[in-house]
Amino acid sequence: MSTLPRRILIVRLGAIGDVANALVLANALKDHDPGVRIGWAIHDLSRPLVEGHPSIDRVHLWSRGAGGRGLARWVDDVRATGYDLAIDLQRILKSALLARLAGAARVLAYDRERCKESSWVLAAERIEPGPPHEHMVDQYLAFARAVGVPEPRARFSLPFDQAAERRARDVAAAHPRGVALLHVGATKPANRWPAERFGELARRLHDAHGVQALLVGGPAERELGARALAAASSSRGVEDWTGRTTLPEFWHLAAHARLVVSADSGPMHLAAAAGTRVLALFGAADERRTGPYGREHVVVRFPIDCAPCGARECPLARHACMLDLAVEPVERAAARMLAIGE
């Protein structure tokens, strides 16, 4: 008989990559006990990742700037569900407060060392500290062990969108040699590779391997997409798709791609969760913690003593860890990965 609490609320409001990885916790709980009811507290931007997900039974939307009335409505909605356990996966004061206000009999959070903003004080129960540089996916699975799942496995899944899947299949069918997605941006400036190099890489991948290269990104990355396309020298094998896909369209398109190239970003984790080989470009970020999860992926970085530093923006006069990462080693790694696919 399962010893899991019958109703569990997971608080992981964002960001996109973190939510995509954290879904392994919901899957582990459902795999162990399909009868457990799982709710998720989420921000608007990441909502498509949990709405319609087979392991999520209830979605509680927390809108930024909702104010006191919005908080009161959120609390009423969550408490009406009657959760037995609330899990704070975000480890900041806001997520800790929401977990505490959910009205669950138990609140579980990270250990004190890994919590931020003193959020640990709002949780009565905390998981044991993990090993140094533990990947975030393994950290999320530690919560499954803490509530009674003896050997949780990292099973990734994303909601299925029929229209997005149909569009992705049409794109793949139009290019018999396959499609490669190149995500040109990253939320943290320190994680970004120059857009012009993405364009040059896209051109080389098409010329050498025949794949159709699609430059992808959100609406805020359209300028990066335009710069990358210009650097591709108007190659017919390169198209700028930045700002042209929804989140579901991106992960369905990634699932049909032969390769996804990206710096440390939410779309990088979405592509890995979709089951696609990912070539990840790392500088400031630590791939041991936030790299694409799984042995089929490849990480390329330029060796430099100050990296990984984890900074949001490079404090030095020259952002060497990404600026000194040339196109050639990335192209060689991509070629090897495409050869495996063939």
Region of residue 225 (phi > 0: left; psi between -120 and 50: alpha; otherwise: beta): alpha
322-335 mean pLDDT: 97
Claim to verify: residue 135 and residue 171 sit in the same structural domain: no
Residue 70 lies in a domain: yes
pLDDT digit string, tens, across residues 44-75: 999 999 999 999 999 999 887 777 888 899 99
The CA R_g of the chain, rounded to the nearest whole Å, is 21
Give me the domain span that covers residue 136. 7-146
CATH of the domain at 220: 3.40.50.2000
| CA geometry: angle 136, 186, 43, nearest 5 deg | 65
What CA–CA distance (Å, rounded) separates 137 from 164? 26
Claim to verify: residue 205 and residue 336 sit in the same structural domain: yes
Residue 330 lies in a domain: yes
Examine the fold and report which residue of 111, 146, 181 is the final residue of a domain before the chain moves on.
146
pLDDT digit string, tens, across residues 271-290: 999 999 999 999 999 999 99
Claim to verify: residue 248 and residue 179 sit in the same structural domain: yes
Examine the fold and report which residue of 120, 146, 172 is the final residue of a domain before the chain moves on.
146
Residue 265 lies in a domain: yes
Residue 51 lies in a domain: yes
Label residue 116 by pLDDT band (50, 70, 90). Answer: confident
Residue 152 lies in a domain: no
Claim to verify: residue 173 and residue 271 sit in the same structural domain: yes
Residue 153 lies in a domain: no
Reply yes or no on whether the pLDDT at 118 is more than 80: no
- Across the chain, mean pLDDT equals 94
Residue 264 lies in a domain: yes
